[in-house]
Every structure is written in structure tokens, then in C-alpha cells.
Structure 1
Amino acid sequence: MPRPRSLTPDQLASAALAVTDRDGLAGLSMRAVAQELGVSTMGLYRYVHDREELERLVVELVLSAVDTEPPDPGASWRERVEVMVRRLRDTVGAHPEVVPLAIAHRHHSLGVLRWSEAVLAVLTEAGVEGERRVVALRGLLSYVIGAIQLEHLGALSGPGTTAITELPPAEFPHLAETARDARNVDAGQEFLGGLALLLDGLDAQGG
């Protein structure tokens, strides 16, 4: 029998990402990735121990594509943070099924570590330090992750929002009215508006 061909980490990660994008996170398995690569499931175990290792490869592949170069130093700290946040959103948002994996494996990803370091440098220059800096970084990460999930799993203009507009106005007047207004808010407007509120909070605290 011919010897099984060698596979690189990038090939493994690309195949696992293709499965995840196509079949969702529930479809990611050793067998599915092996089929994507055209090898046996047992053959795949020559390269990775289990699904968790595949997950880490996927996360690193996606997050390594985030541009972590420092933004224009002539821009304000708010503008530079916005640039970094938008880069993360655009990259991860292209693969929304990966978001839960990114949360679980973010501490092992050089991509997210480098992104975090770049954001922290901007915050530090702006005078955000100590516990405020901890809260600021985690708040930004939480916002991006939550916004991506809402955009792809529960968009403001989706069927769930339509159902809310039909709630009894006597019982839910503000919720029903807000859902109607949401029809005029696109994903980009929602994301940047929420980010502005978060940065306003840092500004108000002396950032």
C-alpha cells in the first residue's frame, strides 16, 4: 500500500474550517475532517489527537488573519481602537460558526494575543491603566463576540424582531416600538453605534 501523504497544520486547519463553515460547529469531527482531506479517520490521528486540537488549529487559522499592525499613530485613541475592533469583527465575522471556539481557545491563539497587545498599547497611551484597562479590554472583546453572534444568529431585522413588533403594545410598549425602529438599523450601524457607546464610557472615565 502507498504510504499516506503528509499533511501540514495549515492543510488540517483549512479542512477543519471548511467543514465548520459548511456544516456548522456541530459538524466538526475527526471523521468529517478526514473525509474533507481524503484520508481515513485513523490516518488523521497521525496528526492530531482529538477534536479539541482541531478546534485550536481552526481558531489560529482564523485569528492569524487579523491585522494587528498598529493603526495610524496620528489618529485619536478612539479612532485607533475602532480600527482594531473593526478588524477583529470583519475577520471573525466571516466565520461566525468559529466564534464559540475563539472564546474557548483565545488564550492559546497568537492572533488574539497580538490583537490584545495592540489594543492595550493604544489604551495605555490614552491613560487607561490598571483595573480600568482590564475591564476595557474584556469589554471590547465581549462586545465584538456578542455583536458577531447577534448579527449572524439574531439580527435586528430578523424574524425574531418581526415577532416582537407584534407583541401586545399595552404590555410591551417600549419593546414593540424599539423592534419597529430596529427595521431601519443595519448591522454596521448597530455595531458602530454600540462601540461608540462603549468608548464614550471610557472617555467619561478620563480615557
Structure 2
Amino acid sequence: MHPYRRIVEDVRRRIEAGELRPGDRVPSARQITHEWGVAIATATKAHATLREEGLTVARPGVGTVVAGPAPRRDHELTRERIVAAAVAIADREGMAELSMRHIASSLGVSTMSLYRHIPGKEELTLAMIDAAMAGIRLPARYPPGGWRAALEICSRMEWATFQRHPWLAPTMSITRPQLAPAAMRLTEWVLGVFDGTRLTQSERMYVQILLFTFVRGVASALEPEAEAIQESGLTNDQWVDAQTSTFLATMDAENMSHFRELTAQPFDFDLDKLFEFGLARLLDGLTPYVSSRS
């Protein structure tokens, strides 16, 4: 559990136990840093989450106080609202922090009321994947550039979707794919890209799996990266700077000449650049293969 989440749950426990009553001030961000031993950014995120979940409100001249129990809105609950809330939590905090209780708290309803719309976690995950993939709006007609231009469009849309939803890539399975209608429509679109070639449906499917696996593989770094930044309080550049002396010492001790040559020239490791580089090389490799089957 993330440090800010532990703070939220502790404050929630105090409210439920009556230790903190409506109108009582909750610990300030500065007090939280001392009491829990966390960075000010973590304390600020805990305060923001408490407000989002309806547990606290900010009162000018007073500070952050207990708002009282969140209003119950079970009668307004729908499957779509539950899925949207789950996606928002996963986008913000990661799948590890997602639970039915957390979703219910964010919606201001009882946990049991969710199960009237979604039976369990497996069904919820499938609905979340489908909702996220539905954001990919592929053109009704294939672009004039042929199969390569079409695959570029599709791959970049997938990459953008994975960036919006960092939890999505590690959640989706290749060997046991979740049968999300939106994902199946995307695959159907890719299979049709090769109409006019002599590629069999099996070969087309292999191409689709190959490209999707590449995009998903690069995107699988997004959620761990976000978690590492959140937990350490260091950006990627700051973390690299902190490791520089150890890296250089290891490089010299092991006489790594290629690493030494690499450090002597500019090298910017960026996931967007890695995605574009890999996509271009994959499509370059597919070109003679598809041409030979046309």
C-alpha cells in the first residue's frame, strides 16, 4: 500500500471510530510529515484523496476538517459509474490500490451495492479494459498509405491509450486474452488491413499479436515508473543522477569500453523514443515479408 493510502486509511479509521468528529480538524500536511515520516508531496496527496472521497472539506480560516459520512447515493448507481470510478482510481493510484471498498468510498455508496451491478473483480477488470480500449477511435476507412500507414495509426493510438491508463498494459493478457469487445474490434480492424495481400488470416493474426505485444511491452514500464516516482519522490532524471557515481565506478572496474563510448555521446532514454524506434524497425522488417506475399 502506498504511504499516502496508509495515511488516508488511518484517518478514515479515526473518523469511523469517533476519534475525529464532523467539524474536527484533521492533521495538517506539515503534521502528517512529522507523524508518518513522509514527504510533503505524500501528505498533500493524502489530503487531496481525503477530500475526493468525501471525508474532509477545506474551510477558509479553519483548515481541513472532517466532513462527516459521505452521502449515500445507491439509487443513482449504474454499472457505467462503477467502471468509470474504477478506471479513475486505477489511473491515479494503480491497480494495486483498486478494491470494491475503495470504489464504493469514492462513489459514496455501500460496498455491497456494487455487487448488484458487477459480480466481482474479474468482471470489473474486463469492463475496465473494454472502457479503456473503447477510447481508441480507429477510422472507418483505411488510410491511403496501405497496411503500413494503417498499422502506424493503430499502434500510436494504442500507445497513447496505454499512456492515459498506465495500469492497462500489465493487466491485459496475451496468452489468455480478456474478451473485451473494444479490443476485439481493434483486432478485427487490423486483420482487414491486409485485404488485397495474400496473407492468410493466421499470418495477419500473428502480425497483430507481434505489434500489440511490442506496444504493450514498452507500456508495461509506465505503471512501475509512476509508482517508483511516487514512492521515492525522485523523477527519473533525479534517480539517474543519484546512480551516476555507482554506474561509472562499475563501468571502470569492469572495463566496459562500449559503455564508456556510450557515455561520451548524448543518449536520451525516453519511452516515447523507444516506442517510435521499435515500431519503425518492426514495420521495416514486415515490409519485405508482406511484399513477398502480395
TM-score by length of 1: 0.83
Paired residues, what number? 205
Point out where structure 1 has 5 or more consecutive residues left out of the alignment. none
Asked whether the 8 Å contact 1:30–1:44 carries over to 2, the reply is: yes
CA RMSD of aligned residues (A): 3.0
Confirm whether residue 52 of structure 1 aligns to residue 122 of structure 2: yes
Equivalent in the alignment of 2:199: 128
Q: Deviations over 1:60-100 (max 9, x none)?
A: 11011111224553113211110111111112221111222
Structure with bigger helix share is: 1
Q: Deviations over 1:157-193 (max 9, x none)?
A: 6546966953425454445655776832543322111
Q: How far apart, CA to CA, are the structure 2 residues paired with 1:126 and 1:176?
A: 47
Q: Which residue of 2 aligns with 1:99?
A: 169
Counterpart check, 1:188 vs 2:272: yes
Q: Relative contact order (alpha carbons < 8 A, sep ≥ 6): 1 or 2 greater?
A: 1
> Which position in structure 1 is the counterpart of 2:132?
62
What are the equivalent positions in structure 2 for 1:30-49 lying under 5 Å apart?
Answer: 30-49=100-119
**Rg (Cα) greater in structure:** 2
In the other structure, the counterpart of 1:78 is 148
1:144/1:46 CA distance change after superposition, 3 Å: same
Deviates further, 162-171 or 30-39: 162-171
Change in CA separation of 1:126 and 1:6 when aligned onto 2, cut-off 3 Å? same
| Separation in structure 2 between the aligned mates of residue 108 and residue 7 of structure 1, nearest angstrom | 25
Q: Percent identity?
A: 28
Question: 1:148 aligned to 2:219?
Answer: yes
| Separation of aligned partners in 2, 1:177 and 1:146 | 28
Higher alpha-carbon deviation: 37-46 or 164-173: 164-173
CA distance in 1, matches of 2:134, 2:274: 26
Equivalent residue for 2:185, pick from 86, 104, 114? 114
Could you tell me which of 83, 96, 111 is aligned with 1:26?
Answer: 96
What pairs up with 1:167-206 in 2 under 5 angstroms? 167-169=250-252, 170-174=254-258, 177=261, 183-206=267-290
Query: In the aligned structure 2, how far is the partner of 1:89 from the partner of 1:3?
Result: 36
Q: 1:64 to 1:20 in 2, by over 3 A?
A: same
Deviation at 1:206, TM superposition (A): 3.4
- 2:251 maps to a residue whose letter is P
